[in-house]
């Protein structure tokens, strides 16, 4: 399950990213810097953060608001009983630390998308098709901790620690490699 999910996610996202970058390179011509890769990464990471983070937690906030007003049961009356029980359990465990962990994970994911976009852009710009398998492997490795958490192999704290360290390393790498060169005027 973990290997399949990690590879499937990586293949679909990275092939899409690679094709998108090739389209950009062909349509707008070569670019000397990493601007297009950074822009693509901001768009990809931002959209993912919005759909996976903001919308999900917005939904949970709305359900918590309904529960605090005593209207949750009315809203959930059409759902099966086991689904309602699961929703109540999830709302009961909703806490500030769990929201903070989601925020940390989304930030790490954003940085990962940015780094992978810069990597793929550089590969496309240099005409190296080998960047696609590399990006797929790196993406699959980055997805593995979250998937191992889902199958209860790793605790959440370990997963978040891995993502925090990964994000920190990628930020350092991006700053060092994408910083414009300072030439004397």
Token pair 């080998």: residue = 130
pLDDT tens track for 54-78: 888 888 889 989 988 989 889 988 9
Separation between Cα atoms, residue 154 and residue 151, nearest integer Å: 8
Separation between Cα atoms, residue 103 and residue 97, nearest integer Å: 10
Q: Distances from the Cα of 127 to the Cαs of 28, 122, 135, 158, 184, in angstroms?
A: 15, 9, 15, 38, 31
DSSP H helix total and E strand total for the chain: 8, 0
- pLDDT of the chain along its 185 residues, tens only? 888 999 999 999 999 999 999 999 999 887 778 889 999 999 999 999 889 888 888 888 899 899 889 898 899 889 999 998 998 888 888 888 877 888 888 888 899 999 999 999 999 998 898 999 999 999 999 989 888 888 989 888 888 888 888 888 888 888 888 776 665 55
pLDDT tens track for 36-58: 999 999 999 999 988 988 888 88
| Per-residue pLDDT, 52 | 87
Separation between Cα atoms, residue 167 and residue 110, nearest integer Å: 9
Compute φ and ψ for 116, nearest 5 degrees.
-65, -35
Tell me the torsion sign for CA atoms 143, 147, 149, 150. Answer: positive
């Amino acid at each position: 399950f973990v290997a399949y999910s990690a590879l499937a996610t990586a293949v679909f996202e990275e092939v899409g990213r690679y094709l998108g970058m090739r389209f950009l390179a062909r349509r707008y011509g070569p670019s000397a810097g990493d601007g297009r890769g950074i822009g693509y990464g901001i768009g990809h990471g931002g959209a993912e953060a919005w759909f996976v983070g903001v919308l999900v937690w917005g939904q949970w906030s709305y359900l918590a608001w309904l529960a605090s007003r005593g209207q949750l049961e009315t809203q959930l009356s059409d759902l099966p009983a086991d689904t309602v029980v699961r929703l109540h359990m999830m709302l009961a465990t909703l806490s500030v630390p769990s929201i903070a962990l989601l925020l940390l994970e989304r930030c790490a994911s954003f940085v990962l998308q940015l780094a992978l976009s810069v990597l793929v852009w550089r590969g496309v710009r240099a005409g190296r098709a080998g960047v696609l398998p590399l990006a797929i492997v790196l993406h699959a490795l980055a997805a593995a901790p979250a998937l191992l958490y889902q199958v209860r192999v790793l605790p959440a704290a370990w997963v978040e620690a891995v993502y925090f360290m990964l994000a920190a390393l990628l930020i350092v790498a991006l700053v060092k490699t994408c910083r414009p060169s300072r030439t004397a005027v």
